[in-house]
Amino acid sequence: MFSVWILCVGLALTLVSNLIYDIWFHPLREYPGPRYAAASRIWYSLHVFRGHHKNAIKRLHDEFGLVVRIAPNELSYIDPRAWEDIYGRSAHENRTAALEKELDFFETAFNNSDSLVDANSRDFKSQKNNATRAFSNGSLLRRSPTMATYIDRSIELLRTYLSDKQVSTIDIDPWIGNIVLDTHAKLTISQDFGAVELGPIPHTLVTNMHRAVTTIQYCTQLQYLPHALKFLTKLMPSRDIFTVLGKIPPLGTAIAKRIAKEHDESVSQDFVSHMIQDSEADVRNIATVRSNATVFVLSAVETLPGFICSILYYLLETPEYYKAASNELRSRFGSSAEITLQSTQQLEYLGACMREGLRASPPAVGTLTRRIPPQGAEVCGRFVPGGVTVGIHNWSVTHSERFWTHPERFRPERWTGDGDYADDLRSVFNPFGVGPRTCVARHLVLLEATLIVAKLLFAFDMTLDPKNCGDWPVHKGHFVPTRGSLFIGLKPHLSEKSASTPA
């Protein structure tokens, strides 16, 4: 009994001494921020668990400025200079190297998979060279027919569903999620999962991905427990993305079969083929290829449908925006077949809507954290000690009144030269990051999302169902938003209905 009492007292003294050090003696003590954030990460984790993290960090930036100490050993930035200082090629080592990713989050989420998501800079560079070929604008444009196939099939099934069920209102989210899953699977491993054929029923991989991301966001917070309580993390089973999803039969089996067909010419144009072309052993490592294939298939399943639904919501919420986007499509194209990845790039107004959607409801709302090297580094003109976690909080950047006029409003005209938004600081808008670790799939995300939105707007007359709450796009979430159902009224557009009806 006495030994237990001694242990409790020792633990309490350790926690108190850490608190005193973090508030009054820590190297970051001079940085602005609330005392409770300097003392402990508990407040931060609570907001993550409640799904209010993004708004909580924004409020701190609104109050304390361009840099805020949000945890004992973490600084959050919205200073435009931080993009290059944190993510650029010359962030440290005499301005010759980029900062490495912060390990606590990525090790928990990806279990040291050495994939494109969590590999160190050296391994990432060799993998990126192959991935860049797969995700180049030219390579993706050649895959336009593949992407269109799944969208067109889903629209066909939607028309049938509306007619057979005698309904006019649907939840569009599962339909879009299934399109994205089948498209990415086909592009990655030359095989789809039949998700589009499920219509309004989300494929099991879509629902499991949502649960996995939510679970991982929670589990990452355990890595920030006080050292005296770190042993608790050892008691939990592994919750990394590959353990949770990689063994699910439709995915794990399909990826294994594709890798086994390494030299099959019939699948020579998919993403996996690009990842196994290099002769270097570390790139050809089967485990790494398998991990990257999992990332490619599932990376957009959780984020892209939410982004597309946000665009539809914003357009339908303001009828004049919906009308302008629809009219642009219907005045330019005579049929859905004319809407391709190439042709949608010429749509000025819809392009402005997509960019504004990335700002108003970004697919990633959190922070891509980086770790300052042991020797320290300069960020925004101020020295930051080694070992500190730093990053730009995306939601705060895209919703700060310092940079945007009426940032809470969806306004496509801020991207079309409207004088009311001439003072917007567009240089802070980097939805896919900057520097050597810029998202390799950035072209795919925007091209695919634009194609899906364009074909839906062309095929249907739409209205926003009243059952959607007024603040639908203001999702909960930590790193990625947690989306809900989006109910919209659909009616096949007259010209499309006539075109699909036999004479």
Residue 196 phi, psi (nearest 5):
-60, -35
140-170 as b/e: b if 16+ CB within 10 A: beebbebbbebbbebbebbbebbeeeeeeeb
**Calpha distance 78→111 (Å, rounded):** 29
DSSP string for residues in 388-449: -EEEEBHHHHHT-TTT-SSTTS--GGGGTT-GGGTT--GGG--TT--STTS-TTHHHHHHHH
Query: Residue 456: which of 179, 146, 202, 204 has the closest Cα?
Result: 179
Q: Which residues contact 256 (CB under 8 A, 6 or more apart)?
A: 290
User: Token pair for residue 302?
Assistant: 């959780």
Q: Which residues contact 69 (CB under 8 A, 6 or more apart)?
A: 28, 31, 32, 33, 37, 38, 75, 76
Count of helix runs (H) and strand runs (E) in the chain: 23, 12
Query: Residue 135: which of 437, 451, 434, 439 has the closest Cα?
Result: 439
- State yes or no: 219 annotated in a binding site: no
DSSP string for residues in 84-137: HHHHSTTSBTTTTBPPEEPHHHHHHHHTT--STTT--HHHHHHHHHHHHHHTSH
Q: Which residue has the tokens 């409640």?
A: 50
Query: Per the annotation, where are the binding residues?
Result: 439
Query: Per the annotation, where are the binding residues for heme?
Result: 439
